[in-house]
Amino acid sequence: MPSEPHPQPPARSTTSWSLHRRLAVGLVLCIGGTFAAIFPMLDRLIDHAIYHQMDFTLSQRATAVGRMLQDSAHQHPEALMPEYEPGGHMEFFTVFDQASGAALLRSPSSAGAVLPAEPAAEGTPRYYDVTLPDGHAGRAIALRLPMPGSPDRLLVVATEREEWDRTERRVHLALLAGIALATLLATGSALLVVQRVIVVLRRTGAAAARLNADQPMQPLGGDLPRELKPFADAFNLGLRHLYAAVERERQFSRDVAHELRTPLAEIRLSAESALGSNDAAQARRSLAASVSATQRMQRSVDTLLLLARLDSGQHTPAPDPIDLSSLVRELLAALASLQARRTLAVQPDLPPSAWVQGDLGIIERIISNLLRNALEYAPEGDAIGCRLERSDAGWLLSIANAAPELQESDLEHLGHRFWRKQSEGGTAHHAGLGLALAFSLARAIDLPLRFSLQNGRLTARLGPWTPLV
């Protein structure tokens, strides 16, 4: 029975969104909403300013009319005020008897009509909107008018307000136009700035697309704005890590290919020799040579893997109290057979104890490689110096051996993988990885390792370590 197909996961939405559109809509809503919120307040302030100016003008005109009416020498004061002539339709006034409310005097421009009156408290003029005798909208002021030798009067002075209304409408239209223009300018300016940034980002993206691990890394984002510099720095840091990882992989591949070529050839040669020989002893020797080459391959691969972990930061040191004197003595004892086989004399100069703190496994590997390097490369019969001394900076270990073939220019190559003074290739013991491993391990725990050459003797100095006691 055929099995039912597994349900496919829902496809992820690939709908893209536009930064320009979102920014434009956001700015329009934000700026427009802000102005819409403050427009009523601005409208009220504008109206207040216009009415204040209109009322001030009315107050001045009412004062002038009042003074003219209070002058008893003029029986017809309206004749001295041409703006109130019958042909005028802008200015009006009416005088009422305050007690009875009867109209006593009308401006000629009123054509017999009476302005609406509102009582005004003493010393407090009252401003209000009215419909003028000609049917237009107007603004009026009512105030008490003291008259010498007669009861007080109520004076109402009005003026047409259409011009003021037109001014108010023009201000409102100008305000709305200014709001719209400010919104458009702000949105357009923001979109232009974003467009410039997008152009730079596209150029940076194109440069990132052209990156090739076979070419040197070129930092990106040099022309990005200051706000995007942290992103560019983080991106470049990630690129450096990526390039470093690629280089470590390539280095590891080159190292493996370089190191395994010789032992693989030895294994094949030994296997072919064993297969083609009828001599059991010869076959055994060939198989023993194959096992030896296999062991060498195993040591090389283990060393290369440890170097790769160190270079990538995957190995974390674990500090422990260490007695360097005891550790060096143990390592020298472990290498006694190599010392005896090559008839070398080791002259240790070690204190009773030298306590420091560090990763025991790493330090043991470093010192072992340095001692083994000195014992394997020193001429037979040489005297190997091994001294541990304390200075103001701490404990310092120095290992010296004769190196007649080395020159001062060779020191810079010490620690390079598979570097050998002689170009004939490695042997079962001399793979060219010991010092490279020692340098990598020393860097992993921030322990200085230096080599010097003087009078034909090579000296390796390791340390200083900070003493514990």
266 sits in which H/E element: helix 229-276
Residue 82: pLDDT band with limits 50, 70, 90: low
Q: 454: helix, coil or strand?
A: strand
pLDDT tens profile 395-410: 999 999 988 877 777 7
223: alpha, beta or left? (left if phi > 0; alpha if psi -120 to 50): alpha
Structure confidence at residue 114 (pLDDT): 86
Structure confidence at residue 416 (pLDDT): 65
pLDDT tens profile 237-291: 888 888 877 776 776 666 666 556 666 777 777 788 777 777 778 878 778 777 7
Mean pLDDT in the chain? 78
Structure confidence at residue 85 (pLDDT): 65
303: exposed, middle or buried (Cβ count in 10 Å: 0-12, 13-18, 19+): buried
Provide the angle, in degrees to the nearest 10, between the axes of the packed helices 162-209 and 19-70: 160
- Dihedral sign for Cα atoms in the order 194, 199, 201, 205: positive
pLDDT tens profile 24-71: 788 788 877 887 788 788 888 888 888 888 888 888 888 888 887 777
Tokens describing residue 311: 């270079």
pLDDT tens profile 15-35: 567 777 777 788 788 877 887
pLDDT tens profile 309-356: 766 667 667 788 999 999 999 888 888 888 888 889 888 999 999 999
Between the alpha carbon of residue 124 and those of residues 99, 105, 121, the distances in Å are 18, 22, 5
Structure confidence at residue 395 (pLDDT): 93
Structure confidence at residue 54 (pLDDT): 85
Give this prediction's pTM.
0.44
pLDDT tens profile 97-123: 877 778 888 887 777 788 888 765 555
pLDDT tens profile 147-161: 776 777 888 888 888
Residue 8: pLDDT band with limits 50, 70, 90: low
Structure confidence at residue 264 (pLDDT): 76
